[in-house]
A and B are shown apart, each in its own frame.
Chain A
Amino acid sequence: MTTKSRLAALAGQPNCGKSTVFNMLTGAHQHVANYPGVTVEKKSGHFSVAGVRVDLVDLPGTYSLTSYSLEERVARDFLLDEKPDVCVNVADVSTLRRSLSLTLQIMEMDLPVVLALNMMDKARKEGVEIDLRILEERLGIRVVPLAAAKGEGKGELMEAIQEQVSIHRHPRQVDYGPLESKIHVLEDWMRDQGTTSSLPLRWLRIKLLEGDAFALEHARGKIAQGEKLADMALRLGKEFEQEHGESVSRHLATCRYALADEIVSSCQKHSFSSRGLTNKIDAVVCHKLLGPVILVGVIFLLYQLSIVQGYNLTNYTWPILAKFKELCGLALPAAGFVDDPMVRALGLWVVDSVNALLNYIPIFLILFTLIAILEDSGYMPRMAFILDRLLQRFGLHGQATLPLVLGGVYVGGCAVPAVMSTKAVPDHRARLATILIIPMLNCLAKVPLYILLIGAYFAQHQALAMFFISTISLLMALPVAKLLTLTVLKKQESAPFIMEMPDYHLPTIGGVLRPALQKVWLFVKKITSIVAAVAVIVFALLRFPGIGAEAMREIEARGDHAQNDFLQIVDTSPLQGRFQLEEIPDLLEFEAAYKQAKIRATSDQDAVLVDKRFSERNAAYLAMVKGQPAEEYGKVSRGLRSLLRERKLIRMEIQKARIDSSFLGRIGQAMEPVTQWAGFTWRINVALLSALAAKENTVATLGSLYQQDADASGSDLSASMKETESGFTSLHALALMLFMVLYPPCLATLITIKLQSGSWGYMLLSLGGQITLGIGVAVLVFTGGSLLDLTGLEAMIAFYCLAVALTVAAAMIPNPPLEPDPGHS
C-alpha cells in the first residue's frame, strides 16, 4: 500500500495523437488551467495503476525542446523544474524519424522516458513493420506500441509508466562528434572547480555551448563561478563555429537527426506510402482556385452557425440569466422610489456585467465545437496554408483568418469570440497582432451608430457609405497590424512557421465536445473574477463624485410630488383612506410581479389563473393595477401608469445627471480642447466614453444628450442632431463614424484581451492605442477636410484612397526578422 503519487509528463510533437493518449489514460479525471504567467493551456489528469496514483500533465505539442517558441519553453521548463518521475513521449509511427529527434532531446534531460509509438494500426494497414526490440535496445528506453484512437495498448502503457518509475535504464547518448571534445572541456573544468547544478549536467553543457539564453542565465545566476563557465562556453561555441563552419545548434540537430535516421533504418521494414485519401482531398481543398472557394464556404458556415445562430440561442438562455439577476435583486436591499441604495446599484451592476459575458456562452459553445471539428479533422492547417501568404504580408498568420472573420471583416461580428478564437494562432507575435486589431473591425454593436449617421448625413449615398464603412475597418486594421509588428511587437517571439499537413480524419465526439466544454468552463471561471474587478472600477468612474445634495433633494421632491398626486387619485376611488403612502413600494412590486406573470402565461386559461392568484394575494392591488371595474378603478390604473412613467423618467434623469457630473463626464469635458479638432463637442465625448461599457450605448447616450433639445415627438434623433448642433455637417458625421470604427473595444472585449494576452499591458495598449488612433484619424479627416473645404462625401472618398494606399504600402514593407528567444525565460 503506497499512497505516494507519481508525476508523469506527456510530451510529443503536434498531431501525434497526444491528446487522444491523454484522454485514453485519464478518462474523465481532467483539469485545465494555464501554465503560470503564460497563455499556454495546461491540461492535467490522473489515473491509478497497481495502487499508485499517477498525475499526468499534458505538455504543449512541440517539434523540439529549444527555446524557440513559448510552447517549447513551457514544455522544457516543466521537465526541468518539476522533474517528473517519468516522461511519456508520444510519437506518430508514420513520422518516426522526425519524432525521434524530440525523443533524443528528452532523453538528454536525464529523465526516465517511455516512448509510446502511436498509430500502430495505420502502420499495420500499410504493411510497415517496426522491430520494437531493436528500437528499445538502440534507444535504451521502454517502447510501447499504441493505437490510441482505438484504445489499444492502454494497459501496457500504464504498466510501462509504473515500471519506469522504479527502474531507471541507461538511455542512449547522442554522439555529437567533434563537439564532444568541447563538452569534455566544460566537464573537466566543472569537475576541477567542484561546481555542480540542479540541471542535468550534460544537457546544461550542450545548451551552454549552443548559447541558449536560459542556460546562460542559469549558469550566471545559480552556479558558483558561473560567469566564467558561461564565458568559456560561449568562447568554445564560437571556436566550434569557426572550425566547422556551422553553428552549434545546427550541428546538434544534424547529429540527432542522423542518429534517428540510423535507428529507424535499422528497425523499420518498408516505408510509408504516399497518403492516399489525404492527398486526394488535398488536391481539391488546397487547389489554387477551388481552395479559396471552399474556404469562403467554410468560413461563411462557421459565421452563420456561431454568431448568427448563437445569437438566436441567447434568446432562450437569457431568461436563465435574467432569473439569476432577479434572485440577486431580491437578496439586495430594496429599491427606492427614485434612487437605489449604493449596495443595490453596485451589486446589480456587477451581476449585469457578469451576465453580459455569460450571455456569450451559447455562441462560444457552438464556436469552440466547430473549431474543434476543424482542428480534429485536419482542415485548420489547410485554411492557414491558403491565406498565409497574404496575411503574412501584414505580420499576421494564416490562422488569423477565423478570428478576423468572427470579429467582423465585412458584416457585423463580435470581438469577444473573435479574440477568444486567436488561441489557434501558433505564432506569438502574430497572435498578439491579431488580438490587437480585432477590436477595430465592425462589431454588430457599432452598426446602429453608422445607420443613424448615414441616414442623417449621407442619405443620398447610403449604399456607397455603407460599403465604405464596411470595408474601411479592414483597410485600417491591416496597416495597423503591420505597424504593431514593426514596432511594439517587434521583440515578441515569432517562431519559424512549420506548417504540417496532418492526415484527414473523422473527428470523434469526445475529441470535439471535451475541449469545447473545457474551454467554455475555463472562460466562465476566469471572467467572474476579472469582470467583477473591472466593473467596480467603471462603476466608480460613472458614479462619483455624484450629484450635489441640492439637486438630489429637488429630484426627490419631484418623486414625492408624483406619489402624492397618485394618492389623491386613489382617494377618489372606493379605496379612499385605506391606501397609504407607505404602501406604494408594495404596490409597485405587486405590479411588476403581476406583469411578469402575465408575460410568462402560456395560454388564456393560464392568464385567468394568474389573475386568480394575484387576486388572492391582494384583491385591492389587482383592481388598481388592472383598473377594473373601470368606473371605480379606471382612473387609479391610469394614475398608476403615469406614476410608473414619471418614476422611469426621474430615474433616467438621475442617471444622466450622474454621468455628466461623474469623473467620466468631467474627462469628456476636459477633452474638448483636443477633440474639437475632430469636430466632437463634450457631449459627444461623454457619449463615446460611456459607450465603453457597450457600443450600443453610444446611440442611446447620444439620443439622451440631444433629446433635451428635440421635440417631444415627431422629430427623431438624426433630425434633432441636425438642429441642435448647428454646423454639424456631413464632415462631422464622417469623423465621428471613423472614430467609431477605431473606437476602443467594449469592456467585454477588453477583459477578453486581458485573458488571451495574459497581460493588463496589452489590454491598456488596446484601449489607449485605439483612442489615440481614433482621435488622430478623426482630426485628420475633420481638420484636413475643413481646410481643403471638402464635403463629407469627398473626404470619404479621399480617405478611402489613402487607406488603400497605406494597405498596399504596408504589404510591401518586409517583416522584422524572427525573434526566436526574447532573451529571458
Chain B
Amino acid sequence: MTRKIIPFVFALLLLGASQAFAHTPLCSCWDNGDGTVTCEGGFSDGSSAAGVGISILDAAEAVLESGKMSETSEFTFKKPAGEYSVKFDAGEGHRIVIPGSQIH
C-alpha cells in the first residue's frame, strides 16, 4: 500500500544532455483517433516522468483507471464514454489535471 504513494518510481532517465534544474511538471495528451488517448509526461528540466502516477477520473472525480507512466514516460488508455479528466500526480506542487474536453 505504502508504495503507492511513491512518486518517480521506476524513474529512468539518467542525468543527460537535457537535464537542468527547475521542475515544472508537464503532461500533454492527445487522441490517437482509434478510441485511445495517450499522455506523455515529464518535467521542465527534462527529467523523465517514468513511474509517476496517473489516473483517469470521471465527471464525479471517481477513479476509472489508474497506472504509472511507462519507462518512456507514456500512458495510453481507452477513451471513456462520458466526461473525464486525466490527473498526472508527481507529488505536492507537481500535480496536473487535464479535462477530457481539452484532449483532441
Contact = CB atoms under 8 A, between A and B. Distances in A.
B14 A599 contact: no
6 contacts: A353-B21, A451-B91, A455-B3, A603-B104, A651-B16, A694-B22
A253 interface: no
A322 B43 CA distance: 11
Contacts of A406: none
A603 B18 CA distance: 32
Contact of A700 (B2, B15, B31): B15
Contact of A655 (B2, B9, B17, B22): B17
A655 B14 contact: yes
Interface in B20-59: 20-24, 26, 28-34, 40, 43-48, 50-51
Given A412-B93, A694-B45, A694-B47, A703 B8 contact: yes
Task: List the 4 closest pairs (A to B, CB-CB), nearest first.
Answer: A356-B20, A607-B104, A655-B16, A703-B11
A696 B47 contact: yes
Contacts of B32: 626
A659 B8 contact: no
Interface in A439-481: 444-445, 447-448, 451-452, 455-456, 459, 462
Given A455-B5, A718-B6, A719-B3, A701 B14 contact: yes
A710 B104 CA distance: 36
Interface of B: 2-3, 5-24, 26, 28-34, 40, 43-48, 50-51, 71-72, 91-93, 96, 102, 104
| Centre residue among A321, A704, A747 by max chain B CB count within 10 A | A704
Given A699-B8, A703-B51, A716 B14 contact: no
A462 B15 CA distance: 29
Given A451-B91, A601-B30, 18 more contacts: A314-B22, A318-B26, A322-B44, A348-B17, A352-B18, A352-B19, A352-B20, A355-B20, A359-B22, A359-B24, A447-B91, A452-B9, A455-B6, A604-B104, A607-B31, A628-B33, A696-B45, A700-B48
Given A345-B17, A451-B5, A748-B21, A696 B43 contact: yes
A33 interface: no
B71 A314 contact: no
Contacts of A416: 21
A357 B29 CA distance: 26
Contacts of A321: 44
Contact of A703 (B12, B21, B43): B12
A360 interface: yes
Contact of A696 (B3, B14, B23, B28): B23
A323 B26 CA distance: 14
B8 A700 contact: yes
| Centre residue among B12, B34, B43, B91 by max chain A CB count within 10 A | B12
Contacts of B44: 314, 318, 321-322, 355-356, 359
A352 B8 contact: no
B59 to A, nearest CB: 19
**Main SS of the interface on chain B?**
loop
A702 B71 CA distance: 14
B6 A599 contact: no
Interface string A193-218: 00000000000000000000000000
B20 A353 contact: yes
A697 B91 contact: no
Nearest to B24: A314
A539 B15 CA distance: 10
B15 A315 contact: no
B26 A696 contact: no
Contacts of B18: 348-349, 352
B1 to A, nearest CB: 9
A283 interface: no
B72 A601 contact: no
A6 B46 CA distance: 51
Nearest to A689: B15
Contact of A311 (B9, B43, B47, B93): B93
Contacts of A694: 15, 19-23, 45, 47
A645 interface: yes
A595 B83 CA distance: 23
Nearest to B33: A626
Contacts of A651: 16
A606 B74 CA distance: 23
Interface in A687-727: 690-691, 693-694, 696-697, 699-704, 707, 710, 716-719
B102 A356 contact: no
Nearest to B90: A448
B19 A340 contact: no
A321 B71 CA distance: 25
Given A598-B30, A602-B102, A655-B13, A716 B22 contact: no
Contacts of A352: 18-20, 45-46
A704 B14 contact: yes
A459 B2 CA distance: 7
Contacts of B34: 626-628, 630
B51 A716 contact: yes
A709 to B, nearest CB: 13
Interface in A310-337: 311, 314-315, 318, 321-322
A8 interface: no
B19 A697 contact: yes
Contacts of B104: 598, 601-604, 606-607
Interface string A123-165: 0000000000000000000000000000000000000000000
Nearest to A603: B104
A558 interface: no
| Centre residue among B2, B19, B71 by max chain A CB count within 10 A | B19
A648 B16 CA distance: 13
A703 B50 contact: yes
B15 A697 contact: yes
A717 B9 contact: yes
| Centre residue among A412, A598, A604, A710 by max chain B CB count within 10 A | A598
Contacts of B45: 352, 356, 694, 696
A630 B22 CA distance: 41
A82 B30 CA distance: 63
Contacts of A557: none
A690 B15 contact: yes
A694 B8 CA distance: 14
A9 B6 CA distance: 59
A274 to B, nearest CB: 47
Contacts of B71: 649, 707
Contacts of A455: 2-3, 5-6
Nearest to B46: A352
Contacts of B51: 703, 716-717
Contacts of B31: 598, 607
A346 to B, nearest CB: 8
A542 interface: yes
A748 B40 CA distance: 26
